[in-house]
Amino acid sequence: MATELDDALESAVKIISETATLVRVVLSGRRRNMTVPFERIDIRPVLIKDAIVLQIEQNDGRATTVKNVAPQDFGARGYLEMGYANILVEHTSGALSIRITKKGEAQVHEDKGAREQNLEHDRRKARLLDPSDPFLIEIGISDSDGRIKPTRSDKYIQVEEFLRLLVPTLNSAIEAKQIAKPTPEKPLVIADLGCGNAYLTFAVHQYLTSIDMPVHVIGIDIRPESLKRNNEIAKKLKIDKTIEFKAEAIDQTSLTSCDIAIALHACDTATDDAIAWAVTGGAKLLLIAPCCQHDLQTQMSQVPEPWNILTKHGLMKERLGDLMTDALRAQILKLAGYRTEVIEFIGGEHTPRNIMIRAVLTHAKAEAKDIESYKKMLKEWKIDPALASRLNVIQ
């Protein structure tokens, strides 16, 4: 007997097969106990040499790959059953969305609004932040004519790509009820730790406000000059009721908790302070792009055989130190009950510091084998990562 999920998937297959009216298909989120090859897949019809083909954009959280497939060769049902929890199929006169619950049941929603089909095959990546937005001019990323300053272009791209990861992660967390849907009375509290000139702080505030998400954003930086500058900009933009700044050290901040902790290149162990503060305050989501790190390199002096081959050359020791620092941060977050991933949030040409630790609080209990391997590594390498001394995840 066909289940509701079967019926819904068949309806989706039918809409996808009608390429003359198909607008797009989005597959995202992971079904319980299933693994998916990509974080998100976007499929849409495009016109190439007078023929419609399906353009498949697959994003693994690091990079997007694109391929085109003839409609008759596209196995729609296979894609729909790949393991994604959220399936959205839009067509010119409506949309079908299927959410597959933890129990494998379908929550189906149909919408009748008209949508436009765009068959251009090389649409440019839509920008989230319009370069002429007054906030970008005020914070000095754009010039007074609303053009990105060449010297600020890397920062602009870093902030855009950071947002590109934050937004779907946040939406999934709200959908999965890991974060309560924000309301004007209870806005989403976001802390940007080590905010500096607050490029990311303002961008997150402005973007989420533009999509009608009630937010309260707090930027924390130890430098009083940052506080003064950022407060003046917030006042000028008339947003000082929903964005605020504190000139405080992260580990001594007067702020006690937040829903989402973000940090973009908080120097060295300030990243550890940020993670420790966020976890202690019960933050539900952490997006942390670490900066330079020296803590472990200085400790890697008694590396066990044969691994000391890896640390013989200064350059490699430094890179290995970076990798180990972030790997152990991710492991500590896992032990603290977070589902944690380490991804590249931007191409290396815009910053060599392009790793992001993304962690969602699930309260999953630490497994004995994870605790064991973590303890064994610290013991054998005779290291004590900065985050471990700030957050005691193993008793």
Structure tokens at 53: 């083909």
114 φ/ψ angles, rounded to the nearest 5 degrees: -75, 145
Residue 271 within binding range of ligand SAM, rule CB under 6 A? no
Q: What is d(CA 43, CA 119) in angstroms, rounded to the nearest whole number?
A: 12
Q: Residue 270 interacts with ligand SAM (CB under 6 A)?
A: yes
> In 3-state terms, what secondary structure has residue 251?
helix
Report if residue 272 touches ligand SAM, rule: CB under 6 A. no
249 binds ligand SAM per the rule CB under 6 A? yes
Q: How far is the CB of 201 from ligand SAM (least distance, A)?
A: 8
Beta strands across the sheet bearing 106-111: 64-69, 51-59, 40-48, 22-30, 84-91, 94-100, 106-111
Rounded to 5 degrees, φ, ψ at 52 are -80, 130
For ligand SAM, the binding residue among 32, 102, 223, 363 (CB under 6 A) is 223
The residue among 53 and 296 lying less far from ligand SAM, judged by its C-beta, is 296
CB of 270 to ligand SAM, least distance (A): 3
Please report the DSSP string for 149-208 in residue order: -GGGHHHHHHHHHHHHHHHHHHHHHHHTTSSPPP-SSSPEEEEEET-TT-HHHHHHHHHH
Distance CA 271, CA 266 (A): 5
Cβ(26)–Cβ(40) below 8 Å:
yes
Q: Does residue 161 touch ligand SAM according to CB under 6 A?
A: no
What is the DSSP-derived secondary structure letter of residue 115? -
Query: Binding to ligand SAM by residue 366, rule CB under 6 A?
Result: no
By CB under 6 A, name the one of 29, 45, 61, 196 that touches ligand SAM: 196
Cβ at position 30, least distance to ligand SAM in Å: 30
Q: Is 163 in the site for ligand SAM (CB under 6 A)?
A: no
Name the 3-class secondary structure at 253: coil
Stretch that binds ligand SAM, among 167-175, 179-187, 267-275, 341-349 (CB under 6 A): 267-275
Nearest distance in Å: CB 274, ligand SAM: 8
User: Considering the rule CB under 6 A, would residue 173 count as an interface residue with ligand SAM?
Assistant: no
Q: Let me know if 49 is exposed, middle or buried by CB neighbors in 10 A (0-12, 13-18, 19+).
A: exposed
Does 260 engage in binding with ligand SAM (CB under 6 A)? no
Interacting span for ligand SAM (CB under 6 A) from 64-72, 81-89, 132-140, 264-272: 264-272
- From the list 36, 213, 267, 377, which residue makes contact with ligand SAM (rule: CB under 6 A)? 267
Binding site for ligand SAM (CB under 6 A): 194-197, 199-200, 220-223, 226, 249-250, 264-267, 270, 273, 291
